[in-house]
Structure 1
Amino acid sequence: MEDASLPDYPPVQEEDLTHAFPGGLTDPSILRSFNSHAAAAFGTGRNESGLSQLARCTYRFVNKLLISSFVERWQPEMNIFHMTVGEMTLTLDGVGTILGLPIVGKSVSVPDVTDHHGVTLLVYGLGITERAAHEEVSSIGGNSVRLEWLRSQFAGVTDSDPDEAIQCAARAYLLFLLGCTLFSDKSGGRVPVVYLGLLMDLGSIHTYVWGAAALAFLYRQLGYASRSGVKQMGGYMNLLEAWIYEHFRAFRPH
């Protein structure tokens, strides 16, 4: 069933992934779908996070009918699609090929956090005041923040600001990116603060197995969506749709 208690957040729009994340270095070679962003902390001309390609792995529209038809064939106990031609599923190799994300490395493991811990992550990771962090976490619930809130907090950051401010903006950008791609939830407009804990050390972000985490998260969301009465689904729909087009070319848009 739908989460009736969740606020009705607007979904992330295409312009959110093709326009600039306010502030930061202007260099299309870093994240081509963003004209400028706060990734200067990663070094000029390159992005060391290993997540930059996510900004390019985006369809203009999600084919909801196609996704729904495959969800109906999902078997959550086995994590496979029951097809007329046999059984198939997304694999780590497929995720690595489609998204170019690491599938070998450190586990993306995030613990449950209290509201207090969530506020602390925002204060130390993004340089947000404790009051602002508490207000956002309290108003949204679930130890999450709005994607639009992340954007607005760093609207004035530029590459001439102190390194610490740019690093905070870089973490905010990456948290934003994770929230509207790999770990997108049903609202389409918020992201759990707990992922910020993995972004504290900007130099080690690329060592995590983001590809495996994306696949595990999508498996779980497919399991939820396959239940009777559920009308919404979280997870990275672009990944699932790209996999379908790769293996069932008749469905590819013309």
Structure 2
Amino acid sequence: MPDIAVEDASLPDSSTVQEEDLTHAFLGGPTDPSILRSFNSHVAATVCHGEERGPLKCHNHSSKILAWPWWSVDNNTRFKAIIEQSGLSQLAHCTYRFVNKLLISSFVERWQPETNTFHMTVGEMTLTLDDVGTILGLPIVSKSVSVPDMIDHHGVTLLVYGLGIIERVAHEEVSTSDLDPEEAMQCATRAYLLFLLGCTLFSDKSGGRVPVVYLGLLMDLGSIHTYAWGAAALAFLYRQLGHASRSGVKQMGGYMTLLEA
């Protein structure tokens, strides 16, 4: 299985917007600064000054997912069954191999975090829950995907019980264990699903980490499909678009396939 590290933070670092950037109208921007309060720190304001930011670095992990084509292996029927039951298996198949970073960057320049919409010359448009359900086939109405902040001790505990590794190994981020076959299979499945979520729905700008807090939602393998993963993916992408719309940001996370499609 390709490596992907785990981290404690449940969400990526947010971009800081200075108070002085939120107070006045901007030439060529909205005349009422109370509507789009952060426009002065938006990349569109930089473009109005004649400065081009250039294309964003868009993180895409399709190569990591495709490095282990478990769906084409004959002797892992039990593993396949659990993955299929989770409702997340299609993420391994529908992820675009390449990202059109010019297209993504152009859309980000028109994204407004205050309204969560693209401001186009023909009007406003946005990604909706219906889009997520149609494109990804993920549930959008179900239990909330809610994860708390987590201290190191709780993260280690999750790794020990969720992935079946000893505490020393958990601290070293190495996954080896000596379990009975069924328990080992369940632990391997949780590890893969955590990896899959980190490569797709919750891909961040680190390029190789996934918050360990999501492992808490994978402990009961029979209930993974009952979560509204589609709604969580959309909310996460909205936040990533908001970060990327800041003038000083050079890269972007989030599920690129959902945005492009």
Asked if Structure 1 and Structure 2 have the same fold, meaning a TM-score greater than 0.5 normalized by the shorter chain, the answer is yes
CA contact (8 A) 1:184 1:235 kept: yes
1:47 Cα shift?
Answer: 1.1
CA contact (8 A) 1:12 1:189 kept: no
Is residue 104 of structure 1 aligned with residue 141 of structure 2? yes
Is residue 241 of structure 1 aligned with residue 260 of structure 2? yes
The 2-side partners of 1:172 and 1:52 are apart by 14
* Corresponding residue number in structure 2 for 1:217: 236
The 2-side partners of 1:222 and 1:13 are apart by 18
Unaligned runs of 5+ in 2: 1-12, 14-58
Unaligned runs of 5+ in 1: 4-10, 29-34, 137-148, 243-254
The 1-side partners of 2:197 and 2:132 are apart by 15
Is residue 231 of structure 1 aligned with residue 250 of structure 2? yes
1:211 Cα shift?
Answer: 0.1
The 1-side partners of 2:251 and 2:136 are apart by 23
More displaced 10-residue stretch of structure 1: 182-191 or 200-209: 182-191
* Corresponding residue number in structure 1 for 2:6: none
1:105-254 map, 5 Å: 105-136=142-173, 153=175, 162-242=181-261
Percent pairwise identity: 77
Q: How big is each residue's C-alpha offset from its partner over 1:143-196, in whole Å with a ceiling of 9 and x where there is no partner?
A: xxxxxx6xxx37x99xxx610000000000000000000000102211000000
Match of 2:102 among 57, 61, 65: 65
1:16 Cα shift?
Answer: 2.1
Residue type matched to 2:166 in 1? Answer: T
Q: Could you tell me the TM-score, scaled by structure 1's length?
A: 0.74
- Given the superposition, is the C-alpha separation of residues 219 and 27 from structure 1 closer, same or farther in structure 2, using an over 3 Å criterion? closer
Match of 1:55 among 89, 92, 111: 92
* Corresponding residue number in structure 1 for 2:126: 89
Residue type matched to 1:77 in 2? Answer: E
* Corresponding residue number in structure 2 for 1:250: none
Q: Which is greater in Rg?
A: 2
The 1-side partners of 2:97 and 2:85 are apart by 26
Query: Size of the alignment, in residue pairs?
Result: 205
* Corresponding residue number in structure 2 for 1:6: none
CA contact (8 A) 1:38 1:166 kept: no
CA contact (8 A) 1:127 1:168 kept: yes
More displaced 10-residue stretch of structure 1: 200-209 or 127-136: 127-136
Is residue 43 of structure 1 aligned with residue 81 of structure 2? yes
* Corresponding residue number in structure 2 for 1:20: 68
1:19 Cα shift?
Answer: 3.1
The 1-side partners of 2:181 and 2:169 are apart by 21
The 2-side partners of 1:210 and 1:94 are apart by 13
CA contact (8 A) 2:111 2:242 kept: yes
1:129 Cα shift?
Answer: 1.1
- Given the superposition, is the C-alpha separation of residues 37 and 105 from structure 1 closer, same or farther in structure 2, using an over 3 Å criterion? farther
CA RMSD after TM alignment: 2.6
DSSP 3-state at the match of 2:252: coil
More displaced 10-residue stretch of structure 1: 68-77 or 35-44: 35-44
The 2-side partners of 1:102 and 1:180 are apart by 19
Q: Could you tell me the TM-score, scaled by structure 2's length?
A: 0.72
CA contact (8 A) 2:60 2:99 kept: no
